[in-house]
Amino acid sequence: MNRIAKALHGSMDSAKPLLITNIIAHNIAAQLIQGMITS
């Protein structure tokens, strides 16, 4: 039981940087699209 909880916690920790990277990439893409529309 404890091993499963530790594995879940570890996968959550490793997913955090991916989530942050996805948010940053999404923001950059949105800014690029906005720049194309306005220019």
For residue 35, what pLDDT is reported?
A: 93
Q: What is the pLDDT of residues 9-21, one digit of tens each?
A: 887 778 888 889 9
**pLDDT value for 1:** 66
Q: What is the mean pLDDT of residues 16-38?
A: 92
Q: What letters, b where the CB count within 10 A reaches 16 and e where it falls short, cover 1-38?
A: eeeeeeeeeeeeeeeeeeeeeeeeeeeeeeeeeeeeee
Global pTM? Answer: 0.56
Give me the residue spans of the domains in the chain: 1-39
